[in-house]
Chain A
Amino acid sequence: MSGALIRADDLTMRYPNGTLALEGASFEVAAGELLVILGHNGCGKSTLLRCIAGLQVPTQGQVSVSGQVLTGLTGRALSTARMKLGMVFQQARLVGRRSVIANVLCGTLGRRQTLTTMLGMFPRDDAPVALESLDAVGLSAFANQRASTLSGGQAQRVSIARALAQKPAALLADEPVASLDPDAANEVMQLLRRISSRDGLAVICVLHQPELARRYGDRVIGMKKGRVLFDAAPEAIAARDMDALYTGTAGGSYHE
């Protein structure tokens, strides 16, 4: 695929304590594609996303986003590059005391002057952007409510709205539905599906439910002990391969 938006090249991550969390992981994601990552606890999925988002520096390999190498950037260049990647976590990570819209507005910070936003002044044209992204997740009615009063599913959608307000080219989601009930989980997955196919974002989503991966993913990567085991369209993955992902990995973590 020539239109790769995110490219991970031979990513290897060894933590200072010696844990080898990633071992030569390589793959690509195109714009408008929803890639699901599956794998046992401790296989390195979060580490992989954190390396892509620039929250961690891989010990080896590199990440590029629309042709620009992200690995190794620092300071202002790093923050600018990060704006292209929105990230969503298992917990919504909102500031509970602030309103929903204030939380969403935080997504625009990267584009704005440090000083004026520090005083709580956001440019006038950011309000529509924030409302629009809140609308995209179906929660514009909640704009002025305190974030701490939302349900888990709503909070997760607000955190997606915050990432959208950033106007990213890709969305990285680390177990976004892990603490949601089946209905809320499906709503969030449909939202991610729409964000990728309609708005053309590349979406990487870590899941623990193979059935959700089959239903919503354009492509599925299976990881085991820090390596990519398979990378294929959902319909091409045999049940046997899926089972192999989770066998012989009891205990959760992997140490060398």
Chain B
Amino acid sequence: MSDAAELRGLRPLQSGQGHEFASWRTGALRIAVGLGLILVVAQATYVVQARPQDLITGAHGMADILWRASPPDFGQFQHELWPAIETLDIAIFGTLWGVILALPLAIFAARNTSPSRSLYYLARGLIALCRAVPDLVWALLFVTAVGLGPFPGALAISVHSVGMLGRLFSEVIEDMDKGPVEALITTGATRLQVFSHAIVPIVLPSLLGITLYRLDENIRGSLVLGFVGAGGIGFELLTAMNLFQYQTVSLLLVITFVLVTITERLSAALRAKLA
């Protein structure tokens, strides 16, 4: 029998088996998954006490706030410039220290570069801890520890970034093309030389891209941190809300929107350049 004939002979047989298989086992599985999904959605709707009618009756209140919030009070712009800079700098400081701490941790937490098994698990655990606790909770902790202001915010962003960056960095290192690394080992290069001439040039673009993305996320994160007293725009927003200065609130939202859009675009453009 020629190859082609063999293939023709085999195809219907295989797909026939597939259909038989699909007809009852897979079918039952699909129904079960569908029922399960419906159940999950139903209990979520019940637990959040969803009341769509309140949205309609509440529309009046929302319109009132919107009315009182416009136009934004641009006279406050100069006054709010400093908190805006603070928000940016919390993100920059936090990202920078996040990178500085995440890099060595990631090297320990990548299976192919970790010096020992116990260090591997220790690094993994630290990274998981930093990541599992949200930055808002870290900020609460640091506000208690070092007092109000931008510094606890910057610390919170750093620690949370260590978790996010550490995991992504170690994945990049683990998935790296090992060919050039081994090639350099055979030239008699030392460990450090292999690191600087093979590992760094291979992974650097990905690491930079991840860091830029993190910076973008951190700016959004640091906007919120002020709610718990960690400085920046968020703190201003909270104060204005409490004092019912809705026109200041809307100005702050405009500033936030501009900040987030610009950094998002900038970070995306830089990342596109790296690729």
Contact = CB atoms under 8 A, between A and B. Distances in A.
Interface in B189-205: 189-190, 192-193, 196-198, 201-202, 205
A118 interface: yes
Nearest to B195: A118
A79 B151 CA distance: 47
Nearest to B201: A95
Interface in B65-101: none
A162 interface: yes
A82 B183 contact: no
B188 A55 contact: no
Interface string A34-57: 000000000000000000011100
B31 to A, nearest CB: 43
Q: Which of A80, A95, A166 has the most CB of B within 10 A?
A: A95
Given A106-B197, A109-B197, A95 B202 contact: yes
A95 B182 CA distance: 12
A254 interface: no
Contact of A55 (B182, B197, B205): B182
Given A93-B179, A95-B202, A117 B196 contact: yes
Interface in B153-197: 179-180, 182-190, 192-193, 196-197
Contacts, number: 75
Contacts of B202: 95, 97
Contact of A98 (B182, B183, B190, B201): B201
Interface in A54-68: 54-55
Interface residues on A, range: 20 to 34
Contacts of A166: 187-188
Interface string A85-123: 111010101110110000000110111101001100000
A163 to B, nearest CB: 7
Interface residues of B, number: 19
B183 A162 contact: yes
Interface SS majority for chain B? helix
Contact of A118 (B186, B196, B205): B196
Contact of A82 (B179, B180, B186, B198): B186
Contact of A109 (B180, B189, B201, B205): B189
B189 A95 contact: no
Contacts of B190: 76, 79, 109, 114
Nearest to B192: A114
A95 B187 contact: no
Q: Which of B182, B188, B197, B198 has the most CB of A within 10 A?
A: B188
B186 A91 contact: no
Contacts of A196: none
A22 interface: no
A97 B180 CA distance: 12
A83 interface: yes
Contacts of A80: 188
Q: Which of A54, A107, A159 has the most CB of B within 10 A?
A: A107
Given A97-B202, A106-B197, 19 more contacts: A53-B186, A55-B185, A79-B188, A81-B188, A82-B185, A89-B182, A93-B182, A95-B197, A95-B198, A95-B202, A106-B189, A109-B190, A110-B189, A114-B192, A117-B193, A118-B193, A159-B183, A162-B183, A166-B188
Q: Which 7 A-B pairs have the closest CB atoms?
A: A110-B188, A93-B179, A83-B188, A109-B189, A87-B186, A93-B183, A82-B188
Interface of A: 53-55, 76, 79-83, 85-87, 89, 91, 93-95, 97-98, 106-107, 109-112, 114, 117-118, 159, 162-163, 166
